[in-house]
Amino acid sequence: MSYYSCLQSIVGDVDQSFLYLDNVTSLNSLAGLQSLTTIEGGMALYELPGLTTIDNSTFPALRNVGAMLNIYGIYIYDNPALTSISGFQALENIDALEVGECYALTSISGFEALASATSMTITDNTALTAITGFSSLTTIRETAPKSLATHG
């Protein structure tokens, strides 16, 4: 994905302003997206069997996902080799953060700049032992809280 290294934003029609990766069996890294600062729609990372980590070099400049329109967010599901998520250190606002069915996932960290979210769901990640790095998070706006459980 290194050919996307100059990509700074994904904007436009909300239903088309997505970074959507689904069932890309040969993908083992998200390198090349380090200049991305804004995704107006959302980000979906589904069924990426070769992806093992989302680290600090993955999205170091990403500040907003879905927060511009309060509709979409970041969805990370069914990534069997993913062991850690720590690559969202600049993210300030988000509509939804959902992480599920990543059975090798042991840690989620690196969201130090995140101040608010509409909803957060972290579920069915049976190996998850640590959720840290949400030190600036002061508001989750959802009226009916979602699960922050490690099991379903």
- pLDDT, one tens digit per residue, over 80-132 is 999 999 989 999 988 889 999 999 999 999 999 999 888 899 999 999 999 99
Q: Is 4 helix (H, G, I), strand (E, B) or coil?
A: helix
Q: How far is CA 73 from CA 1, 28, 57, 117, in A?
A: 21, 22, 20, 9
Short-list 30, 112, 21, 17, CA closest to 67: 17
Other beta carbons within 10 angstroms of residue 56's beta carbon come to: 14
Assign 1 a pLDDT band (cuts: 50, 70, 90).
low
Sequence-distant (6+) residues with CB within 8 A of 84 are 53, 54, 55, 105, 106, 107, 108, 109
Q: Which amino acid is at 74?
A: I
Q: Which tokens is 31 given?
A: 């390198």
Q: Does 68 score more than 80 pLDDT?
A: no
Q: Is residue 150 scored above 90 in pLDDT?
A: no
What is the rounded CA–CA span in Å between residue 144 and residue 152?
A: 18
Residue 52's pLDDT is 97
Element (H, E) at 9: strand 9-10
Q: Which amino acid is at 46?
A: Y
- Residue range 4-27: average pLDDT? 82
- 121/66 Cα distance (integer angstroms): 16
DSSP state of 109: -
Check if the beta carbon of residue 101 is closer than 8 Å to that of residue 78. Answer: yes
Give me the pLDDT at residue 123, please: 95
**pTM to 2 decimal places:** 0.87
